[in-house]
Amino acid sequence: MIFIKKNLVEKIIAHSRKEFPNEACGILVGKDGKAEKVYEMANVDKSPSSYLMEPKEQLKIMKEIRNSELEMVGIYHSHVASEAYPSSHDVELAFYPEASYVIISLKDKRNPRIRSFKIVDGRITEEEVKIE
Ligand SMILES: [Zn+2]
């Protein structure tokens, strides 16, 4: 289960809409599976079907997280035309077994859907998203 504050969910959705028609991506930072902060990242792929976080920017944020009391609780990205379910490419690039992979679908633009998954050794397990 991942807990995400309501204002952060709104931020993620706004970011996804801003990057449309390309995918948006970012990092959720917090503690004990609770996201308390969002880092919007640049998608260097600039693609409607994949994302790659800007490596230097990612490194910098990972360093910042290590030096804080917080941890990376998840990575989010948007799907512009498909369901909020990990693609095979997403699974290949899921390097963090402890992280939640949050996906926002803009397939129905008026009703964005948000789902979250753990991806471990290529295996996808959906988890509950608690918006508080
Ligand atoms: Zn994806």
Residue 19's CATH number: 3.40.140.10
Chain centroid to Cα 27, Å, comes to 6
* H or E element in which residue 93 lies: none
pLDDT at position 55 is 93
Report how far ligand 1's centroid is from the alpha carbon of 105 (Å). 9
Report how far ligand 1's centroid is from the alpha carbon of 50 (Å). 6
Cβ atoms of residues 41 and 55 within 8 Å: no
pLDDT at position 47 is 97
pLDDT at position 111 is 95
**Which residues of the chain carry a pLDDT beneath 50?**
none
pLDDT at position 48 is 97
Q: Which residue intervals of 1-49 are DSSP H helices?
A: 6-19
**Number of independent structural domains in the chain:** 1
Could you tell me the residue range of the domain that residue 20 belongs to? 2-131
pLDDT at position 2 is 97
| Total Cβ atoms within 10 A of residue 64 | 12
Report how far ligand 1's centroid is from the alpha carbon of 87 (Å). 5
pTM of the predicted model as reported, rounded to 2 decimal places? 0.96
Tell me the per-residue pLDDT of 43-63, one tens digit each, with 9 for 90 and over.
999 999 999 999 999 999 999
